[in-house]
Amino acid sequence: MKKSEKELWELRVANAQRNVINRRRFHSMAGGLVALSLGGLGSAWASGEASVKQLTSGTITLGGWPDWIGKDNIPDFRKAYPDADVRLASIPGEEDRIAKLATDPAAVDIMLLVENDVQRLIDLGVSAPVDLGAVPNYANIDEAFKVGYAAASQPRCVTTDYGKTGFGYRRDIVKEDLKSWADVWKVAEKYKGKITFLNQPQFVIGTGLIVNGDSISSTDGSTVRRAADKIIEIKPYLKRFVDTDISRGLVDGSVAIAMSWDYDIYLAQQENENIVWVAPEDGIYGYLDVWAPVNTSERLPVVWKFFDFFFQPRQYGNFVNTLGTASCMEASKPFIDKRMANSEILNPPKEVLKRVQYPKPLGEGQRIWDREWLRIQAA
């Protein structure tokens, strides 16, 4: 590799790691899955179809992780549409975003969420349907990632990227060939004190459900309790549940096995080649990041312009290159760094994608998950 290419790659990795660190740091704040009371809300947004006079120019606000955007996306959008602009609003954590819209429905025009949380915007009455006629480039997103509220029929959001929760391990420390979550349970005692799990109930309880062969969206009390029991079974062998610097222990060798996300392990591998990523054979907890338009916006036409601009393959490729995230658009591959585009971690074969489960809204079942998470923490 030529020196200039190497320097460019290292700069890209460093930039992606900075954005991932920001997301890791705030991801931990989303861990408390607290049921949001809607009783104090007025009925102004109850229909979900608020009537607001629409403007075709001006600045729209996108709420979400800090800097979770391609480095050129907004500058290029400004050049293409001089009468329009996008402002980023840092709103850490899923719960913070939902709470923000509950108390200030006009705070943003677009909110970055995970797909299954869009139901909560609908419940609040602030969700706007996407005008696909004004966003033809959404067709560039692969059909496999148009599910739930991001489906091509009457979507309430658009998919931007996705992630998979699996685990990484150090092959120079762990001698076994780990392929599944069940394998982690089998070797847990041997590697006691060198295993970390995420400090987020959706991924932890979801993993317990996967190991038991159950749906990651279960709201059955006994089923979720069995999943929590599975986590309590392995808990004595864990080093800790981690909030930040998820893969740092893998890099420095203080951790042998770590539950984490695909993009996180991919970037950690750039620092230590002994790190192995595992997309568990017994099931993968997946999530879709989406942009959900808010019906209080006065500039939904600008929102559609921005969506359509973003879903051009070149712009989408810039987004992936900047963040080091997994691509949902095959058409953008020519514009994505070859290492990322050819990575089986970020872009796995179809047989791996078939194992990915995406969570559904828990509704009242959220209380069951909250209760079991408290029991795990107390065990």
Indicate if the pLDDT at residue 25 is higher than 90: no
Same domain, 21 and 133: yes
Pairing of strands 257-261, 284-293: unpaired
| pLDDT tens, position by position, 222-242 | 999 999 999 999 999 999 999
pLDDT for the residue 1? 42
Q: Work out the pLDDT band at 35, boundaries 50, 70, 90.
A: very low
Burial class (CB in 10 A: 0-12, 13-18, 19+), 365: middle
Indicate if the pLDDT at residue 218 is higher than 70: yes
Same domain, 71 and 96: yes
Q: Of 274, 320, 278, which is closest to residue 72 (Cα–Cα)? A: 320
Q: CA-CA distance, 240 to 100, in Å (whole number)?
A: 31
Q: Of 91, 145, 136, which is closest to residue 294 (Cα–Cα)? A: 91
Backbone dihedral region of 93: left (phi > 0), alpha (psi from -120 to 50 degrees) or beta? left
Same domain, 292 and 145: yes
Q: CA-CA distance, 60 to 78, in Å (whole number)?
A: 12
Whose tokens are 């969506």? That residue is 307
| pLDDT tens, position by position, 146-170 | 999 999 888 999 999 999 999 999 9
Q: Of 346, 215, 211, 260, which is closest to residue 28 (Cα–Cα)? A: 260
Same domain, 31 and 173: no
Same domain, 255 and 332: no
In a domain, 354, yes or no: no
Q: Of 125, 124, 113, which is closest to residue 149 (Cα–Cα)? A: 113
Residue 107 belongs to domain spanning: 3-162+287-347
Q: CA-CA distance, 50 to 354, in Å (whole number)?
A: 38
The gap from C-alpha 118 to its chain's centroid, in whole angstroms, comes to 13
Same domain, 265 and 193: yes
Same domain, 200 and 80: no
pLDDT for the residue 2? 40
Do the beta carbons of residue 262 and residue 74 sit within 8 Å?
A: no
pLDDT for the residue 13? 54
Same domain, 298 and 150: yes
Q: Write phi, then psi, for 24 (nearest 5 degrees).
A: -55, -45
Indicate if the pLDDT at residue 135 is higher than 60: yes
Q: Of 190, 154, 149, 141, which is closest to residue 169 (Cα–Cα)? A: 190
Looking at the chain, the whole-number percentage of residues with pLDDT higher than 70 is 86
Q: Of 198, 178, 196, which is closest to residue 187 (Cα–Cα)? A: 178
Same domain, 99 and 36: yes
| Average pLDDT over every residue of 372-378 | 97
CATH code of residue 214: 3.40.190.10
CA within 13 Å, CB half, 65: 23
Same domain, 41 and 154: yes
pLDDT for the residue 4? 45
| pLDDT tens, position by position, 67-115 | 999 999 999 999 999 999 999 999 977 778 999 999 999 999 999 999 9
| pLDDT tens, position by position, 261-300 | 999 999 899 999 999 999 999 999 999 999 999 999 999 9
Tokens of 45: 């947004």
Indicate if the pLDDT at residue 257 is higher than 70: yes
Indicate if the pLDDT at residue 144 is higher than 70: yes
Same domain, 88 and 235: no
Same domain, 13 and 120: yes
In a domain, 97, yes or no: yes
Q: Work out the pLDDT band at 251, boundaries 50, 70, 90.
A: very high
97 Cβ neighbours under 8 A, 6+ residues apart: 63, 64, 91, 111, 112, 113
In a domain, 53, yes or no: yes
pLDDT for the residue 51? 56
pLDDT for the residue 53? 76
Task: Give the total number of structural domains in the chain.
Answer: 2
Tokens of 236: 């004595």
Q: Work out the pLDDT band at 14, boundaries 50, 70, 90.
A: low
Q: What is the DSSP letter of 205?
A: H
| pLDDT tens, position by position, 49-72 | 545 678 899 999 999 988 999 999
Indicate if the pLDDT at residue 117 is higher than 60: yes
Write the DSSP string, 85-117. EEEEEE--SHHHHHHHHHH-TTS-SEEEEEGGG
pLDDT for the residue 262? 94
Q: CA-CA distance, 329 to 70, in Å (whole number)?
A: 15
